[in-house]
Amino acid sequence: MRGYVLRCMVVAALLVCTLIASAGVGLTEPSPAPPPPPSNPTDQQLDQSKRDLTGKAGEVAAVSTRLTKVQAEADELGAQLESRREAANKALVDQRAAQAQAEEANQRAQATRAETDAAAAAIEQAHRRLDEFITAAYLRGADSGSLSLLTEATDLVERAELTEAIAADQRAALDSLQQARVAKVNVDSIARAAQADAQAKHHAAEVAKRVADGAVANARLQMRAGLTKLAGVEAQRVALEHQLDVLTAQDATLRASRQRYLDYQAQRAAEAVAEQRAAAARLTAGTATRRPGAGSGMAARVIDRALSALGVTYAWGGGNAEGPTLGVRDGGEADANGDFRKTGFDCSGLMIYAFGAAGIGLPHYSGYQYNAGKKVPVSEMRPGDMLFWGNPGNVHHVALYIGNGKMVEAPYSGGKVRVTPVRYGGELMPYVTRLL
């Protein structure tokens, strides 16, 4: 068997050389190497970045809520401080008013002292007048004989008038003395009462001022503590927002890197598809030139249709004569790759689609397709033939030969329709199936 396969490989190599020579394909300078792919962050890195970003955003939200609460507390403390300050201002005004009232009372007291001195002088003067009256009365009696006249007077009316005059002078002196004493007592009493009242008000105002000042000092301490707390929470919020900004930038960088990588992959895939189609077109053109006839034209149509599916996703059970279809479940690898959720081709579905261009219908199973046409040895295969892998009792893969040692196939779950060199050896069946 190994000898047979080796002979087949030699024959195929000779055929490839013949095709290259007949197509006029010459040696060309190697194309420049493609640029290296951009960095591709892993799904785990992207998920972790998203979790970090979400967690930090939650922290920022929590601290912002706390900041709002602390700000409200600071506002309340500020209002209390203003209230205490107003109370202190009132106490200061009341203290100044009481001080002014006390000073006024002191001035009145000084004035009453002057009045008291005057009243004392009046009392002293009244005493002097009484003494003078008594002395004068005595002297008048001694000098003018008034007393003797009184005793000798025969006219009772005159004596009565004289007595009344003396008594009136005495009463006037005594009344003046009594009035002076009452005035002194009244003035002293009023002055003392006014001064005591002013001093009491001044003392009460000073106590109220001290209480108000204490309340202001306490409110100021609370306000400072509140502002310190507010500043701490604000600083925490700023720090967290900075961390959030950093994480956001990092996440955006990661996702931009992933997008650049995906764009690079898409570009490389498109370039590869374009290169494969161009190569296949050259091969098809060379084959048509080398093998003129009706069959070669139909093979070109089948090959072109198969190549039109380059890059289409593999989907197990997918594909018909109209194009790619939704895959089906296989209970194994295809399910694990989610083929039942994808629209594409499997290996036999691609053959159905390709040969639909020639109006040829095929069953959706590679084993049946193997028996759908003429068997030709691999060494004699030509573009448009189907290659198979497996054994006669278990064919499990099929591809379409396009010439120059290349084939087009839908390879496996997770892959895409592609052009690739024919895989000789292994389970390659010794015969190809020819329908054209």
CA distance 432 to 376: 5
In three-state form (DSSP H/G/I as H, E/B as E, the rest C), the secondary structure along 384-419 is CCEEEEEECCEEEEEEEEEECCEEEECCCCCCECEE
Residue type, 239: A
What residues does 83 pair with on adjacent strands?
none
Residue 388 neighbours by CB distance under 10 Å: 25
DSSP string over 69-118: HHHHHHHHHHHHHHHHHHHHHHHHHHHHHHHHHHHHHHHHHHHHHHHHHH
Known catalytic membership, residue 8: no
CA distance 296 to 293: 6
Q: Of 8, 115, 202, 397, which is the active-site residue?
A: 397
Q: Of 161, 206, 347, 380, which is the active-site residue?
A: 347
**Long-range contacts formed by 237-246: CB under 8 A, 24+ apart:** 237/60, 237/63, 237/64, 237/67, 240/56, 240/59, 240/60, 240/63, 241/60, 243/56, 244/53, 244/56, 244/57, 244/60
Residue 209 neighbours by CB distance under 10 Å: 19
Known catalytic membership, residue 347: yes
Known catalytic membership, residue 409: yes
Say which DSSP state 24 is in.
T
Q: Of 103, 152, 409, 427, which is the active-site residue?
A: 409
- Enumerate the active-site residues: 347, 397, 409
